[in-house]
Amino acid sequence: MVRTPHDRWPDFVQVLTRRRTGEAPNRPSAIRIILTYRDEELLTLKRGRDSQTSTEHFDTIVVGAGFAGLYALHRMRGLGLDTKVIEAAPDVGGTWYWNRYPGARCDVESVEYCYSFSTEIDQEWSWTERYASQPEILKYLQFVADRLDLRCDILFETRVRSGHFNESENLWELTTSIGQKFTARYCIMASGNLTVPSLPNIPGIEDFAGEIIHTADWPSEPQDFSRKRVGVIGTGSSGCQVIPILAERAKELVVFQRTPNHCLPAHNGPIEPEYYSRLKQRYSELRRRWRSSPLGTSWPVGTRSAMDVSERERQAVYQHRWDVGGASIVASFDDLFISREANDSMADFVRGKVREIVDDSDVAEQLVPADHPMGAKRVTLVTNYYEAFNRDNVRLVAASRAPIKHAAEDGIVAGDELIPLDVLVCATGFDAITGALLRIDIRGRDDVRLKDLWQDGPETMLGLMVAGLPNMFIVTGPGSPSVLSNVVVSIEQHIDWIADCIEHLERKGFATIEAEPAAQQRWMAHVDEVAAMTLFPQAKSWYSGDNIEGKPSRFTVYVGGLQGYREALEGAAEAEYRDFVLTKSSVRDGAIA
Ligand code: NA7
């Protein structure tokens, strides 16, 4: 069974636990979640008894063992720093460990969604599909961990609860869920942008007698849905990937759609071996070329306005990119993210496709996305998503006509109808970008809490550091291109910057580095300024935190261009960390470089 650290479900589990106490439930949903919760508690108790009471010291602690954490460990070792990675899951993989729902797949092409720092890894590893599935990505990360012998420095099944900066010692003091204590001079937060699942707040959910599964915590044992009525809530990437598979496997499938999204065909398939061996011969050159392109990918990027070409040519361009597959349609012209008119021309094309594919015109109209600019919410890459609605066993329940009202013992009440279900799949997304960081009680200088610093939304310098939190580095944090770039590329770029920065501190004898508050303010003003020039803020999305109740809404992904961002990073390092404060002692205004 996949062990679910209970704070992945904080409120939900508490509700279930409270209400179920004393009952002898025969209700799988409650049982499943409570058991996984208890499992973690048992583990905590068991491990707590023999956990160390003394504090272990490291030069660097890395939080998370996904793409970022593994590479961070590799780089820190290269600097000769004694490093420990702390990871909540029982294995490496990060978000690719947990998101094991059927159909889970990356929306970036495999040959681009991988590390580039090692020629050996590049040559020894071979991707089998154009878009890698979750099991294959997980295998890749396991391969990398073994190849670089990383596991011995990773503490698995351990969650960092708090990180407090000790100003007199210039050390981060970390505590884990089972009370272990660590100190470190540097802390690298590789905790991921999409790692804290979000559950829908449905009244009466604790009464539902069926099983509830979140896509980001899919059971590892095989599930037989052939006699089950399955409901899926959510039609983002996870929902749109799992729905076509469940349509084939379940007796009945009900899709609860709140907002229709723009879905594009992935045209996934095996990678041709000849193509791949040719590519491998030129891997580094191709990578360099892709990464220096405006969007950091292999996509050809249009340099004209969508409105500067004839209707006929526009349609031909969109059709070509639709046929090629993937999300490159969003790069067809250079103004698709800044002009609503241009964006509408692309969205209209996709809307036309939905109407073509879906047989029932009424169902098609409900699936047509209309409320946000295309791409302002992440487009989803799909295989047979719209086609699934042509099956007799699949039903769409759109919130525009029948919003979910509450859960009942037998199912979900939407509109005035009780829809009977045996299983409820929540493909309801994540407390993205800031969620994993804010789950940890992080306190910097003067005991100031990250939670308070970010009460109106996250503020960082270049997405890497926060004023007041010395020697704490964030990988692909808010204020960087993060989730709107090829994340592996951004991860390598950030870890390399962090490693160079630490090397600089060590070489020059500095004790701390942190963002300079005024520079941080200027950077975030720039992040806001460029975002306001685009259509991104026009959508309510997880990019802005809008999917989480009570979370401040702020679009903090840097969309000012990857080239400019790279120059800002390099410029800061070349100018010996201009815009950062460096100290040689514990005193904040000590020797400043
Ligand atoms: P997303 O993209 O956040 O999608 C979540 C979906 O769940 C989305 O359709 C939401 O509708 C829906 N949702 C969320 N809460 C509810 C409630 N309470 N009721 C009904 N529907 C709800 O998450 P994914 O996991 O699909 O993808 C996240 C990223 O992971 C993806 O972009 C890739 O980068 C990988 P809404 O649109 O908010 O109306």
The DSSP result for 94-110, as a single string, is THHHH---TT-B-SS-T
In which residue are the tokens 């025969």 written?
26
In the β-sheet with 411-414, what is the strand arrangement from edge to edge? Answer: 404-407, 411-414, 417-420
Whole-number Å distance, alpha carbon 255 to ligand 1 midpoint, is 13
Q: Are 367 and 389 in contact (CB under 8 A)?
A: yes
Number of neighbouring beta carbons within 10 Å of residue 489:
23
Residue 540 Cα: closest atom of ligand 1: 38
Count of helix runs (H) and strand runs (E) in the chain: 18, 20
Q: What is the mean pLDDT for each group of 10 consecutive residues in the chain (593 residues)?
A: 36 39 37 41 48 86 98 98 97 97 97 95 96 98 98 97 97 95 98 95 95 94 96 98 98 98 98 92 91 87 97 98 97 97 98 98 98 97 98 98 97 98 98 97 98 97 98 98 92 97 97 98 98 97 96 96 94 95 68 35
From 237, 404, 476, give the residue whose CB has the most ligand 1 atoms within 8 Å, as the site to mutate.
237
Residue minimizing CA distance to atom 33 of ligand 1: 237
* CA distance linking residue 537 with residue 489, whole number of Å: 24
Under a CB-based contact definition with an 8 Å cutoff, are residues 461 and 479 in contact? Answer: yes
From ligand 1's centre to the CA of 240, what distance in Å?
A: 10
Please report how the helices 273-281 and 283-291 are oriented relative to each other, as an axis angle in degrees rounded to 10. Answer: 80
Query: Which ligand 1 atom is the nearest neighbour of the CA of 237?
Result: 26
444 by DSSP, 3-state: which?
coil
* Per-residue confidence (pLDDT) for residue 293, from 0 to 100: 85
Task: From 232, 238, 484, give the residue whose CB has the most ligand 1 atoms within 8 Å, as the site to mutate.
Answer: 238
Q: Tell me the best of 372, 541, 547 to mutate to test the pocket of ligand 1, counting ligand atoms within 8 Å of each CB and taking the most.
A: 547
Q: How far is CA 519 from CA 467, 557, 570, 593, in A?
A: 9, 17, 16, 15
- Which pLDDT does position 291 carry in this prediction? 84
Nearest-atom number in ligand 1 for the CA of 546 is 38
**What is the whole-number distance in angstroms between the Cα of residue 256 and the centre of ligand 1?**
11
Question: Residue 468 carries which DSSP code?
Answer: T
What 3-state class would DSSP assign to 353? helix
Q: Whose CA is nearest to atom 28 of ligand 1?
A: 429
Residue nearest to atom 20 of ligand 1 (CA): 258
Ligand 1 centroid to Cα of residue 576, in Å, is 41
Kindly state the tokens that stand for 559.
Answer: 């969309």
Which amino acid residue places its CA nearest to atom 36 of ligand 1?
Answer: 259
Q: How far is the CA of 304 from the centre of ligand 1 (A)?
A: 32
Distance between CA 453 and CA 441 in Å, rounded? 12
pLDDT attached to residue 409: 97
Provide Rg for the chain, Cα atoms: 24
In 339-496 the beta strands, taken as DSSP E runs, fall at: 380-382, 394-398, 404-407, 411-414, 417-420, 423-426, 441-443, 472-474
Which value, to the nearest 10 degrees, does the dihedral of the CA atoms of residues 7, 11, 12, 18 take?
Answer: 100
Local structure of residue 420 (DSSP, 8 states) = E
- Report the nearest-CA residue for atom 23 of ligand 1: 429
- Interatomic CA distance for residues 439 and 420, integer angstroms: 35
Ligand 1: distance of its center to the CA of 347 in Å?
19
CA 236 to ligand 1 center in whole angstroms: 4
Query: For helices 311-324 and 340-357, what crossing angle results, to 10°?
Result: 60
How many other C-beta atoms can be found within 10 angstroms of the C-beta atom of residue 589? 8
Q: What is the DSSP letter of 590?
A: S
Three-state DSSP class for 566? helix
Residue of the nearest CA to atom 10 in ligand 1? 234
The DSSP string of 15-67 is HHHHHHTT-----HHHHHHHHHHHHHHHHHHHHHHHS--SEEEEEEEEE--SH
Q: Point out the ligand 1 atom lying closest to the alpha carbon of residue 259.
A: 39
Is residue 214 within 8 A of residue 199, CB to CB? The reply is yes
Atom of ligand 1 nearest to the CA of 235: 9
Which residue has the CA at smallest separation from atom 14 of ligand 1?
Answer: 428
Which residues are near ligand 1 (CB < 6 Å)? 194, 200-201, 233-239, 258-259, 378, 404, 427-430, 542, 547
- If one residue of 193, 258, 374, 405 were mutated to test the ligand 1 pocket, choosing by the most ligand atoms within 8 A of its CB, it would be 258
* Alpha-carbon span 556 to 551, nearest angstrom: 13
The residue type at 134: Q
Could you give phi then psi for residue 408, rounded to 5 degrees?
-130, 175
85/65 Cα distance (integer angstroms): 7
Strands 417-420 and 411-414: antiparallel
CB neighbour list of residue 274: distance below 8 Å, 6 or more residues apart? none
Token digits for 169? 């010692």
User: 427 alpha carbon to ligand 1 midpoint, in Å?
Assistant: 6
For residues 213 and 200, give the distance between their C-alpha atoms in angstroms, rounded to a whole number. 12
In the reported structure, the alpha carbon of residue 487 is separated from the centroid of ligand 1 by a whole-number distance in angstroms of 19
Q: What is the pTM of this model?
A: 0.92
Distance CA(244)–CA(139), nearest Å, equals: 24
**Dihedrals φ, ψ of 530, to 5°?**
-70, -35
Q: Whose CA is nearest to atom 38 of ligand 1?
A: 547
Nearest CA to ligand 1 atom 19: 200
* pLDDT at res. 294: 82
Nearest CA to ligand 1 atom 18: 200
Taking Cα atoms as reference points, which of 345, 344, 394 lies closest to residue 367? Answer: 394
